[in-house]
Amino acid sequence: MPAGIDGAIARGFDEGGANVLCALIIAVPRDIQGRGISAAAVRAMGDIARRHSPGTLIAPVRPSWKERYRLVPIERYACWRRPDGRLFDPWMRVHERAGAAVLKPEPRSLRITGTATEWESWTGMTFPDSGDYWFPGGLAAVHVDREQDRGSCWEKNVWMRHTL
């Protein structure tokens, strides 16, 4: 498995002979969520993969409710199930309904970096001192270094495999 989204992108450019297709992102604007668009997008992703893949599609799924449980390690969160046996997280459950299975959690999937000013703009927050800060919608804290004028965090995901 690649080391998250960053690793998948690097491997896609640096290595030949791929035998798995890797999805990167499906994004549905918040104001139109809950209308079945995400499930349709996952089905379309699978249809594209069936035409171009040797049989497997992997997806780095960003759990939609993980931000509510920030202190729970992604390794535990990825295993949570509802009483009906389905995955707890709604976005992971969309993939599960489309036939995907959890492969492994990835605590360091996508590194997001920027200046402290950029982070303040992106989050709507002020970072008055160097340190780690939780921000709205984040799955991990951003580390801000005011002296270096840098902020960075590692987004988490859960690798899921769609067998085509």
Residue linked to tokens 């791929």 = 18
DSSP string, 93-134: HHHHHTTEEEEEEEEEEEEEEE-HHHHHHHHT----SSEEE-
pLDDT, one tens digit per residue, over 73-91 is: 999 999 999 999 999 999 9
- Domains of the chain: residue spans and CATH: 4-109+156-163 (3.40.630.30)
For position 151, what pLDDT does the model report?
Answer: 98
Provide the percentage of residues in the chain whose pLDDT is more than 90.
Answer: 66
pLDDT, one tens digit per residue, over 22-46 is: 888 888 888 998 898 988 988 888 8
Distance of alpha carbon 140 from alpha carbon 112, whole angstroms: 11
DSSP string, 10-78: HHHHH-----SEE-------GGGTTSSHHHHHHHHHHHHHHHHSSSEEEEEE--TTGGGGTTS-HHHHT
Whole-model pTM: value is 0.88
